[in-house]
Amino acid sequence: MKYKRIWIIMCVLATIIGIYPIIYFIFGGRIALLSSKPDAVYNSLLWQVCFYTHILGGGIALLSGWPQFSNKLRQRRVRLHRNMGKVYMVAVWLSALTGIYIGWYANGGVVAAAGFVTLGIIWFYTTLKAYLHILQRNIAAHRQMMVYSYACTFAAVTLRIWLPLLSIATGDGATSYIIVSWLCWVPNLAVAAVLHNRQTVYVA
């Protein structure tokens, strides 16, 4: 029961952050993260295309990913499960690849850039492996990789939890951002490994 409650909280947070990118498309201009970008980066058409593709793909991945952990959906609505899985994978691949590119321009220099680029690579890899495993009908391996994939997806949520907490604790937003470039996803993968080993990531 406690794991189901945690899953519900996760779903709510994923939904909130999943629809969050809409603000960039509604209001436009240099809002939120964009306000901190240098002119040379912000005015780059390639960077802009990659940024908007990244946040849109990430939002779709958050929204389409969490229902996949429902046993009822997978067992009773197999076609829907497969179609949502396809949407999720395409969204991740687009978001991960563009995330790797914009990661090089992350605030915080080399350390922060390395954190976000590494996340993008692992995110792409785990999702690709999940896809290859299901093509081979290796369901157990597919599920394991999908758990790790969504742990990376969920970094969009944990980043927004950790960053304000770190900023308050350290009083230094720049340093906090460097730390969160790793903190937003490394613990997620550790938790995913524990939960998968306990077979508690799939709910009724």
What does the domain layout of the chain look like in residue ranges? 2-197
Kindly report the pTM of this predicted structure.
Answer: 0.91
Longest CA span, the chain: 51
Question: What is the per-residue pLDDT for 204?
Answer: 47
Helices 139-153 & 186-197, crossing angle to 10 degrees? 150
| DSSP summary character for residue 136 | T
pLDDT in tens, the chain (204 residues): 556 777 788 899 999 999 999 999 888 778 888 888 999 999 999 999 999 999 999 999 999 998 888 777 777 787 888 899 999 999 999 999 999 999 999 999 999 999 999 999 999 999 999 999 999 999 889 989 999 999 999 999 999 999 999 999 999 989 999 999 999 999 999 999 887 776 655 554
Tokens of 159: 């980043």
- Are 123 and 152 in contact, with CB atoms under 8 Å apart? yes
- Looking at residue 1, what is its pLDDT? 55
